[in-house]
Amino acid sequence: MELTGSALLGKIYGGLMGKNIGGSLGTPYERGFGQDDLIEVKLEHRLYPNDDFEVQMAWLRLIEDRGLNISEHDLAQCWLDCIHYNWDEYGFSKRNLRLGILPPMSGFFNNWFRHCMGSPIRSEVWAMIAPGLPDVAATYAFMDAIVDHGGGESVYGEVFNAVLESMAFVSSDLKRLIEYALNYIPESSMTHKTITIALRAHEEGLNLKEARRLIIESAPPEYRRIAQYSPINLGFEVLGLLYSNGFEDAMVKTISLGYDTDCTAATVGAILGIMYGRDYIPPDYAKVYEEVVTNESWGGVSNIRASRTVSELANRIIKITYRLLSSQGGRVFIDRNGNVDWLIDPFTVKPSGPWLNYKPNSWTLRFTGLEATVEYPNGPVLKPGVELPIVVTIKNLRLNPLNLSYIVHGVNPKAYQVNPVNGGLIAQPGLETRVEFRVRLIDLDELGAVEHPVIQFTATDSPESVNVTLTILPPVVWFINRVDESDEDVERWINDALAGDWGVIYRDGYDLGLEDLISKGQSMALVGFIHNPGDTRIIHVGVPNNAPYVKLWFNGEPLLESKEKYILRPNYDGDGRNYIDALMRHGWNTVAIKIKRVDEPVSAHFIMSESGKQLHRGLTDVTQHRKPKLTA
């Protein structure tokens, strides 16, 4: 199986050009909520910046600077240094990273959007540096996806796309490519299900509208109308490929399906461009979309070393491609002219990888001689009356046993205890040894916004000594009480909560967890006390919900009132009706929420972020686990 150097470059160029075209054509039709039916599409030839492209340029710079052996931790650092958007999962995962929660848990904890499209859209760079090496492309894609989608369907979406695109360098048999890539993701996943529905619908001769309906109806109700829900979009992506005839028809049909149109059209364009190369792109398209534009000017991204043309970007990528292919001596041969010969049929590579069996509530640190995995079976939040288990697993990479001692440093003794505080273990070569630590709360008022005790492991007879930093968070505390439908005496609510007359609930994050607390026909009030150690400033607050009635007060002032059900979409930016700016004072602030249930259980979140000037970045210094002391 051979490919000339010029053909390889042509496929990289075609994929990038298809990506740029599809992203631009789909942008005018992108929505936050999915459309009810197929949409009419009139292609507008205008170039738009797209995070699908920008993030991958950041990844390319990372590999250029640090080499091929990057990890999920390198990618996490790149997120904080280069990508400043806080849309949906981007913002939630970056807040976790700033708190010290590492991948994959950074994408898992307190992240409602871990099943959405942020990662499947950035698979091309991994396929392009690993053409015909599906397992390698999939491994990079997995490391990428878990940073902001750990434990989510989107991990499978990016792995699927990366495998399909990697194999598109060596085959143009579309059905074979789709079926092969499906082998890389669990059959039990929603992503596998929607792609399979798309394949069967096409085989059975269903029209595009009917195939679309089947995919949407297969999704969980809470995500069915979320335009960025990745399993629906992966199904649409496959429909766009199967039901089209030619590049432009593929763009029109993919966009007509609606939902995350810039992303699906961009991926379809990339796949077709890789499969058929540079000459498949219509010449009039290539003229318009040769330029690459970004959102650097207003601060959406920075430090990404952006290429200004598709040709320039393709030439940068192929240099990395040859470096990676050269490292695969037993699988690939490259002659002096840059022609590539795959010595092993890529379709014989058996799917395997960490994405098939990993723990999203953990992270792994790699040191010389050993690895340490930190696992939070119940999450990182320390609550009254419940010990918090943290499991540290040491894997010895040495050829001889390691006799290790450990001691816990940096504990806040007024707030909590960690047991055991010290001890020892013998780690056998190549094996894992597990130590469970239990954290017990002493005084919630003494707990900081984030606690970082450190476990130091030291070998008694060799130079190995490593520090494993833990992350412990306080709960979000709400004082709750059932109230009459007409009761809006917020001042009394606050005083009663301060006096201890209301019930108390402890939450891990933004989700209020009200589904089982409010009965049919009842209203409930919630009061929270927010402490801001920083300056007085404008913040963005929201109560995204699906309830028939919600009202929000901040520092006693009514700010929001919603009188009809809406689709739940709890992000930082807003959903169009349940968010507003508020003045957060230095020191103590109060929030009060009233929620009514009529029939179906209600869901609601309370979310705070920085103002729009700060791109709605998630807050890490503000806490809601204490209350002011009553004064005489």
**Domains with residue ranges and CATH for the chain:** 2-40+51-347 (1.10.4080.10), 361-469 (2.60.40.10), 476-614 (2.60.120)
Question: In this structure, which amino acid lies at residue 629?
Answer: K
Residue 44: CB partners within 8 Å, gap ≥ 6? Answer: 25, 28
Q: What is the DSSP letter of 351?
A: P
The pLDDT of residue 19 is above 70: yes
The pLDDT of residue 99 is above 90: yes
The whole-model pTM stands at 0.97
Q: What is the pLDDT of residue 464?
A: 74
The pLDDT of residue 355 is above 70: yes
- pLDDT 10s digits, 224-270: 999 999 999 999 999 999 999 999 999 999 999 999 999 999 999 99
Where residue 462 falls among pLDDT bands split at 50, 70, 90?
A: confident
Q: Do the Cβ atoms of 214 and 207 come closer than 8 Å?
A: no
The span from the CA of 613 to the CA of 578, in Å, is: 19
Q: What is the pLDDT of residue 111?
A: 98
Q: What is the mean pLDDT of residues 540-550?
A: 97
Q: What is the mean pLDDT of residues 604-619?
A: 95
The pLDDT of residue 82 is above 70: yes
Q: What is the pLDDT of residue 631?
A: 61
Q: Do the Cβ atoms of 114 and 105 come closer than 8 Å?
A: no
The span from the CA of 136 to the CA of 353, in Å, is: 9
Least-confidence region, from 49-53, 102-106, 166-170: 49-53
Burial of 288 (0-12, 13-18, 19+ CB in 10 A): middle
Q: Do the Cβ atoms of 137 and 125 come closer than 8 Å?
A: no
Q: Do the Cβ atoms of 562 and 527 come closer than 8 Å?
A: no
Instruction: Please report how many Cα atoms fall inside a 13 Å half-sphere around the Cα of residue 73, on the Cβ side.
Output: 10
The span from the CA of 513 to the CA of 515, in Å, is: 6
Q: Do the Cβ atoms of 574 and 562 come closer than 8 Å?
A: no
The span from the CA of 43 to the CA of 233, in Å, is: 20
- pLDDT 10s digits, 107-117: 999 999 999 99
Compute CA distances 58 → 67, 77, 101, 117, 322, whole Å: 13, 11, 21, 18, 19
63-79 burial string, b = 16+ CB within 10 Å, else e?
beeeeeebebbbbbbbb
562-595 burial string, b = 16+ CB within 10 Å, else e?
beeebbbbbbbbbbeebbeebebeeeebbbbbbb
Question: In this structure, which amino acid lies at residue 226?
Answer: I
SS3 state at 259: coil
Q: Do the Cβ atoms of 6 and 257 come closer than 8 Å?
A: no
Alpha-carbon Rg for the chain, nearest whole angstrom, is 26
The span from the CA of 562 to the CA of 511, in Å, is: 18
- pLDDT 10s digits, 168-180: 999 999 999 999 9
Where residue 210 falls among pLDDT bands split at 50, 70, 90?
A: very high
Quickly count helices (H) and strands (E) in the chain.
Answer: 17, 21
Both structure tokens of 571: 């992000």
Q: What is the pLDDT of residue 562?
A: 94
Q: What is the mean pLDDT of residues 203-207?
A: 98
- pLDDT 10s digits, 473-531: 999 999 999 999 999 999 999 999 999 999 999 999 999 999 999 999 999 999 999 99
The span from the CA of 481 to the CA of 483, in Å, is: 6
- pLDDT 10s digits, 292-331: 999 999 999 999 999 999 999 999 999 999 999 999 988 9
Per cent of the chain over pLDDT 70 is: 100
DSSP string, 8-45: HHHHHHHHHHHHHHHHHHHGGG--SB--SS--------
**Mean pLDDT taken over the chain:** 96
